Structure 1
Amino acid sequence: MSAQRTTLADVAASAGVSVSTASLAFSGSGPIADATRSRVLAAARALGYAGPNPLGRQLRRGRSGIVGVIMGDALRRAFRDPVAVQVLDGLTGTLGPLGLGVLLIPGPDDPSQPAVDPLLESAAMDVAVQMWGGTTDDPVLEMLRRRGTPTVLVEGTPQPDVAAVGIDDHGGMIELTQHVLGLGHTRIATVTMPFDRDRSEGAADPVRLAGISWEITRRRLAGVTDAGVTPTVVWETPASLVENGAAAGRALLSRPDRPTAIVCQSDLLASGVVLAARELGLRVPQDVSVAGFDGLDLPWLAPDVLTSVAQPLAEKGAAIGEAVAELLAGRTPEPRVLPVQLRIGTTTGPVPPGA
């Protein structure tokens, strides 16, 4: 008899037990004697039987054992961002011991693609994790609601029917901006993450600023303005990557009224601005101060060390995993907001003389 055709019934017959008893032997639990379990497993080895079909076991439990993680961006961009990688590492490290796997669902590569990946409509998942928040009318969240899928919303606005995990990025941006103000800077520009699915690039006018729909961008920009700063320029980028920060830096630092300080919404954007300053022959921080957000270790930026707001990336991933476990247990956890910490590096200093 081939291993491919061997069934649990064959194993049960060979061991001289019922099919239900043979099933208990493979489950690792239940009222079955050790000697009987050993006999069933020995019969399985002899017949080349690997064990019950995992899909069938999942169907009987009414669960897939899968957590869908909606990335919110194309994977080719997401996996170039250490923030996404470290949060996912913390998440999977928590889910693994729970016997849960992860299905990564990418966001659209460009605005012409549907906002909701077709996989989201059909994939089996016990819980969904929507990374990087969104808005209350987000089509992804609406799809998950229609499916009745328990959801963890990461860095979005807490809502009564979903679990929420975030960080105090608004407070962190206030503290970072106050640090820059304390150094004497008044001509301060800011480089932001995308405003919405359009992923535009350039200086944002008042109409564009009034239409920001992505929560993270809006909250971090509010941190700058709530610290008492009206930015000389708000430069929107299409993605939080080094090259986008470099493009913003070249544009801002080539202006006749160039800023003396640039506050960025991510460390990758800030590091790009630093590289642009070097390219233009400007010294950091003697000619321009640059600050970021995330607290990443960027040894390739040496000798500069970014002034940044550090967020607990691995801890945030673990908190998301703990929220998943709570939802699977039938409970909706309270919203969780993790603290952040200002870290002063070498890229911020006093306003240049005469500026």
Structure 2
Amino acid sequence: MDETITTPARPTLAAVARLAGVSNSTASLAFSGTGPVSDATRDRVLAAAKELNYAGPDPRARSLRRGRSGIVGVVMEERVRDAFHDPIKIAMLDGIAQEIGVIDAGLLILTDAGDTAQRIDDAPMDAVVLIGCSPRLDESVAILRQRGIPLVAIEGDPADDVLTIGQDNRDASRIAAQHLADLGHERVAIVALSLDRDRTRGPITPERLARGTSNTTLARLAGAHDVFPDAPAYATRGSFVEEGLRAAHALLADPASRPTAIIAQSDLLAAGVIRAAEELELAVPADLSVVGFDGVRVDGLWPYDLTTLVQPAVDKGRAAGVAIVDMLDGRTAHPATFTSVFHLGNTTAPPAG
């Protein structure tokens, strides 16, 4: 009788992540050595890999793929440790990691905070995903084009020939603003993400707006201004609770001109706005309505259920990962645009009086 010998399937990074009890992106970063992965987590991932006989990206597979490095770079707008405080960034990384696992590739995290151009210029990468909130997106595109590396941008408007995974930032922000208008609000202010490459804090003047380079920030501002053309806006240094707190204190400082509602361009910024309101003894939403953007869980926000726009961050990451795999395998990659969903929470109400 003939005996059929079967070769066990090679273990995958996803299997290692499941056994270690971490996300795909965390497991990938544990192997690549980038990202704020603790020693205990890295040891747990490596122990799971050893148990499953997984040795990391297969060098033989890389060789068969025309000498590729087996690395997909992800360029972010802030320091790596700061990025890992943002649930949206983590969700997008998880989505990317899920899809590039089919070609046994790992993630390499790069940032455009500070002097990182040389790292982008010489890092060993087969392809790159650009996070389009970055005000330096155009610089990254120019550098990577010179290297001939396949590019995918999540949001932003890098160039006609760069495949983009889009988000309905303007339309979604218009929906949030219209919700406040329908409630009767007239004095509305905006707490914005970073506007320019220097991430300068402060009021957004017409001159600053004209020089703005962050496409995501500009699109969300445009959506709010479609409904409230004269709404004052304050630029922050990024999506952090502390930045929302600082911006809200600036916008709420004068009781005579204080807005009755604030549109924050992220849920973390919105959490900072709510904290500032509490410090000023303003009730949310009786004295101040607050709207966010993202639809993520923010620790310490209870008993508030934030009114926000829920964006499918994991799906955006997966779409970028699918596009990268298609490019590297010689198939036609396709752009995609995602739609946010309005979530009505308990942080908005008609203005007092």
TM-score (norm 2): 0.80
Distance 1:273 1:57 in 2: 50
8 Å contact 1:135–1:156 — kept in the other structure? no
SS at match of 2:191: strand
* TM superposition shift of 1:284: 0.3
Shift of residue 137, structure 1, vs aligned partner: 7.5
Q: Take 1:246 and 1:157, find their aligned partners in 2: how far apart are those partners?
A: 29
The residue number in structure 1 matching 2:111 is 106
The residue number in structure 2 matching 1:241 is 240
* Structure 1 residues 279 and 185: CA distance shift in structure 2, 3 A: same
Q: Distance in 2 between matches of 1:332 and 1:104?
A: 25
* Structure 2: runs of 5 or more not aligned: 1-6, 11-53
Please state how far the C-alpha of 1:220 moved relative to its aligned partner: 0.6
Output the CA distance in 1 between the equivalents of 2:205 and 2:133.
24
Determine if the alignment matches structure 1 residue 141 to structure 2 residue 145: no
Q: How does 1:292-331 map to 2 (within 5 A)?
A: 292-331=292-331
Once the two structures are TM-superposed, the CA of residue 253 in structure 1 deviates from its matched residue by 1.4
Q: Relative to 1, partners in 2 of residues 1:68 and 1:352: Cα closer, same or farther, differing over 3 Å?
A: same
Gaps of 5+ in 1: 1-24, 29-49
Q: Tell me what 1:95 maps to.
A: 100
Say if 2:84 is the partner of 1:76: no
Question: What is the CA-CA distance between 1:62 and the residue it aligns to?
Answer: 2.4
Shift of 1:337: 0.3
Contact 2:135 2:196 in 1 (8 A): no
In structure 2, C-alpha distance between the alignment counterparts of 1:160 and 1:201, rounded to whole Å? 30
Alignment check: 8 A CA contact 2:188 2:259 kept:
yes
Change beyond 3 A, Cα 1:206–1:331: same
1:179, CA displacement in angstroms? 0.3
Percent of pairs identical after alignment? 39
* Matching residue of 2:214: 214
TM-aligned CA deviation for residue 89 of structure 1 = 1.2
Do 2:152 and 2:165's aligned partners in 1 also have CA atoms closer than 8 Å? yes
Deviations 1:219-257 (A, max 9, x none): 11011112x212442101011100000011111112230
The separation in 1 between residues aligned to 2:133 and 2:231, in whole angstroms, is 28
- Higher deviation after alignment, 239-248 or 86-95: 86-95
Within 5 A, what are the aligned runs for 1:1-355? 55=59, 58-59=62-63, 61-108=66-113, 113-114=114-115, 116-132=116-132, 134=134, 138-157=138-157, 159-226=159-226, 228-255=227-254, 256-353=256-353
CA offset at residue 292 of structure 1? 0.6
Do the aligned partners of residues 288 and 75 (structure 1) sit closer, same or farther apart at CA in structure 2, a change above 3 Å counting? same
2:96 maps to a residue whose letter is L
Closer/same/farther in 2, CA of residues 345 and 82 from structure 1, 3 Å limit:
same
Whole-angstrom distance in 1 between the partners of 2:286 and 2:8: 68
Computed over aligned residues only, the root mean square deviation of the Cα atoms, in angstroms, reads 2.4
Q: Which deviates further from its counterpart, 93-102 or 210-219?
A: 93-102
Is the 2:267–2:293 Cα contact (8 Å) retained in structure 1? yes
User: In 1, are the aligned partners of 2:58 and 2:104 still within 8 Å (CA)?
Assistant: no
CA contact (8 A) 1:75 1:107 kept: no
Q: Deviations over 1:134-193 (max 9, x none)?
A: 579811100111000000011022634222112111111011110010000010000100
Q: Which amino acid aligns with 1:98?
A: I
Shift of 1:204: 1.7
Whether the aligned pair in 2 keeps the contact of 1:237 and 1:248 (CA below 8 Å) is yes
Query: Partners of 1:88 and 1:163 in 2: how far apart?
Result: 18
Q: In 2, are the aligned partners of 1:194 and 1:237 still within 8 Å (CA)?
A: yes
| Distance 1:319-1:341 versus aligned 2 partners, 3 A rule | same
Instruction: Report the TM-score when normalising by structure 1.
Output: 0.79
For 1:267, give the aligned amino acid: D
Pair member with larger Rg: 1
